[in-house]
Structure formats: C-alpha cells, structure tokens
Amino acid sequence: MPAIIFGVVYAALILFGWGFDDVGGFSSHPARLILFGVTITVNTLTMLFKDKFNVEFFKKGENEDPKEKLVGVALPTLIGFLIMFIAPYSDSHNFLTTRGGDILRYLG
C-alpha cells in the first residue's frame, strides 16, 4: 500500500508542478508522458521491493543514530520531491530551460 501512495504522491507532484489547469499541455508532448510513466513505475517498484534489497546497516545490539536516518531517508526523499516539482514547473513556465529544443529534451 505505501508503494501506491508514493506513486500517487509523485504523480501529483509532477502534475502540480506543471499546473493542474493545463494537463492537456503536459500530455501533448511524448517526452513528458514517458518521464511521467517511468518516474511513477520506478518509484512504485522501488517501494514494492525495498525490503527485498534492504541492506542491514546495524548489527544486532547496536543503536540507530537519528542523524543517519535523516541523511539516509529524509534528505533523499525531500530532494526527490523537489525534483519532481521543479522540473515540470520550470518546463511549463520556461524557467531554467535551454533553447536546444526536442533534442535536449529527449537526451534528458
């Protein structure tokens, strides 16, 4: 269930960054739709299989440091949320974009 919630949150962040009033403009370009689909799929699969590939950082009997939890979980999540919002926002408002056209868009 958390995997689905994270997928919905990331989808909402992408659409919120672009603007809910112009979803047609967002979906009019294939590169944006591919980015949307890949982002949602990768994040959902990551959340589904995170326990299978979990690396045990602490041996039995060691205490967990709260700073490591902040740096290892909260900070990457916050950065991911910001990227999922800022990228579509800057694209829809021509902010921090280049004049390279579709070539640069498809290359990432």
pLDDT tens profile 34-58: 888 888 888 778 777 766 665 454 4
At 32, is the pLDDT very low, low, confident or very high (cuts 50, 70, 90)?
confident
Q: How many CA atoms lie within 13 A of 7 on its CB side?
A: 15
Which pLDDT does position 57 carry in this prediction? Answer: 44
The answer on pLDDT for 6 being more than 80 is: no
Least confident of 1-15, 16-30, 44-58, 71-85: 44-58
pTM of the model: 0.65
The answer on pLDDT for 66 being more than 80 is: no
Would you state the structure tokens that stand for residue 107, as one six-digit string? 């290359």
User: What SS3 string covers 47-68?
Assistant: HHHCCCCCCCCCCCCCCCCHHH
Backbone angles phi, psi at 59, to 5 degrees: -80, 165
Q: Are 88 and 26 in contact (CB under 8 A)?
A: yes
At 70, is the pLDDT very low, low, confident or very high (cuts 50, 70, 90)?
low
In the chain, % of residues over pLDDT 90: 0
